[in-house]
Amino acid sequence: MRRTVSSVVGLASALGVTLFAQSAHADASAWVSVNGGTAVYSMDGGDVVARGMMAFDAGVGTSPTAPFLVGGIFRVAPIIEDGVDVYFLARGATGGFQTGDFGVAVDLGGYLRSFGPESSPTPSGGFAGSVVIGAPLGLQLTLSGQVGTVATYGGSATLGIDLLRLTVYRQSLTEWWPNPSSPGDPTHDLASR
């Protein structure tokens, strides 16, 4: 009897949701960038080392039409001749940053390093932070710093391009390069189709 009642209630709920549901529309922001530059770091109190590096970011966040966005970033940063750093960061960004205009994003979180000093060859990790200065067409300058275990500290500077801010989210420079997939454009609104 109990199983029958719960089945009827479940079926009635599903039918009610199906018949009376309003169309929902929620946009999310996203980031996919490719960057290159220089990393400077010291481990285990040793010498400061400068190396070439790359950084690949992917992440998601709140609505791209908001004046301020929050989200998360996953970053993989190969350091030439040494190894790879992996970052897990929370991001706060201005609306101008997301729409491919001038703006700024701040990333804070942790990192893991796949290599270590000779005295401690095991991976290390710690706290990392970045300031990302965004320019039109998805261009960006990222200044980062980290402090970690085994007396590790360092920083990096990279230049790059965010492919989604260049294409999908771009609302700047549309006079000479229209963006048919711009968020907030009523002709692109899936709920209106």
Could you tell me the residue range of the domain that residue 150 belongs to?
A: 29-192
- pLDDT tens digits in sequence order for the chain, 193 residues long: 555 545 555 555 555 555 555 554 557 899 999 999 999 998 877 789 999 999 999 999 999 889 999 999 999 999 999 889 999 999 999 999 998 789 999 999 999 988 876 656 667 889 999 999 999 999 999 999 999 887 889 999 999 999 999 988 888 777 888 877 766 554 444 333 3
What does the pLDDT read at residue 124? 80
Residue 11 lies in a domain: no
Residue 172: both structure tokens together: 């700047």
Single-letter residue type at 53 = M
Q: What is the 3-state secondary structure (H, E, C) of 162-192?
A: EHHHHCCCCCCCCCCCCCCCCCCCHHHCHHH
Residue 157 lies in a domain: yes
What does the pLDDT read at residue 7? 53
CATH number for the domain harbouring residue 173: 2.40.160
What does the pLDDT read at residue 192? 39
Single-letter residue type at 168 = V
The number of folded domains in the chain is 1
E strands within the chain? 29-42, 49-61, 68-79, 83-94, 103-113, 124-134, 139-148, 152-162
What does the pLDDT read at residue 19? 53
Residue 6 lies in a domain: no
Assess contact for 167 and 30: CB atoms under 8 A.
no
